Structure 1
């Protein structure tokens, strides 16, 4: 059994990955995208109520960094601006941070590290879509920078059950604490 989660809300931030039009419209598993959005919004409301930072990270779909890879990401020739915007249902509020990335990871080439350090953040609660892409990339980069993470298992989803299972069984337990939305809310005191 995992130990009880303790969060110092003066040193903890919530980082939500890619809750944007071009991502939440995709078929993800094991949880539908709008279920992920709802859980993330619930946590964001709880973090705000405690005065803790809430960060929404989006990828700029029209400027996605093109790298030489064996599997090229297929993007449509015309990408509407809404594809890169945080969906209204995610509940982004004035005062929340918005970080724009150009590739999978939220820290590389962005101001995320500086924004978090400037607020005294040491621990990051992270959730979003896709578990093994944007979320995992952020956790890998952030642990390399010395941040501690809590990955919210039922507030992440990806493109197959196998991808989700592998990430939550073999990757995240080695890089973070893995807890559910209810465990995070309990630790916040909601």
Structure 2
């Protein structure tokens, strides 16, 4: 479903647009994803709306097929890309989990500011973006997903999440459609 409305108290959360995640393969050109995220960031900042930049600096302790135990990523991996134009008013949450809510103060920050809706952009569709969307939905936020400002490591993973998961968690639209709804 196309995004039909944005609440007056909406925040933008940009997930993992950082050196390490953009250093690997992506289903869509990374520079296009960063560019559309930058457009969203500019629009939200111009209207004085909350911007959250979420990055990941490690992994939780659980065993996976990728390895066992908690891992820390090098600082260079977690560095946000310069194309986001980080501003002093932006909130940054750093975590070692998939969801921007897990192990961070994100929910408290949103609640304190009266945020009722979140718009999500970033990478990877089926990891950080999906996990954050699920957590936001579970907490009662209205969720909007800027589909052309999100990508994954593979087109198949991206498409599966976009068509099979996102419709149950919120509404989707293009970055331009979301910006137009900001008025």
The TM-score bracket by the shorter chain reads over 0.9
Name the structure 2 match of 1:148. Answer: 142
Instruction: Normalising by structure 1, report the TM-score.
Output: 0.89
Q: Is 1:102 paired with 2:99?
A: no
* Alpha-carbon shift at residue 66 of structure 1 (Å): 2.7
Change (3 A) 1:167 1:4: closer
Two-structure CA RMSD over aligned residues (Å): 1.7
* Alpha-carbon shift at residue 7 of structure 1 (Å): 1.6
Q: Is 1:121 paired with 2:115?
A: yes
For residues 27-176 of structure 1, what are the structure 2 equivalents within 5 Å? 27-29=25-27, 31-61=28-58, 64-69=59-64, 71-72=65-66, 79-176=73-170
Give CA-to-partner distance per residue, 1:130-189, whole Å, 9 cap, x none: 001000000111111111100111110001111111111110011110111111011012
Cα distance in 1 for residues equivalent to 2:131 and 2:170 = 13
CA contact (8 A) 2:17 2:123 kept: yes
CA contact (8 A) 1:127 1:156 kept: yes
Unaligned 5+ segments in structure 1 are none
Name the structure 2 match of 1:20. Answer: 18
Instruction: Normalising by structure 2, report the TM-score.
Output: 0.93
* Alpha-carbon shift at residue 80 of structure 1 (Å): 3.5
Cα distance in 2 for residues equivalent to 1:134 and 1:27 = 16
Cα distance in 2 for residues equivalent to 1:57 and 1:169 = 24
Unaligned 5+ segments in structure 2 are none
Name the structure 1 match of 2:5. Answer: 6
Change (3 A) 1:3 1:58: closer
Cα distance in 2 for residues equivalent to 1:166 and 1:97 = 30
CA contact (8 A) 1:36 1:155 kept: yes
Cα distance in 2 for residues equivalent to 1:104 and 1:19 = 13
In the TM superposition, structure 1's runs of 4+ consecutive aligned residues that sit over 4 Å from their partners are none
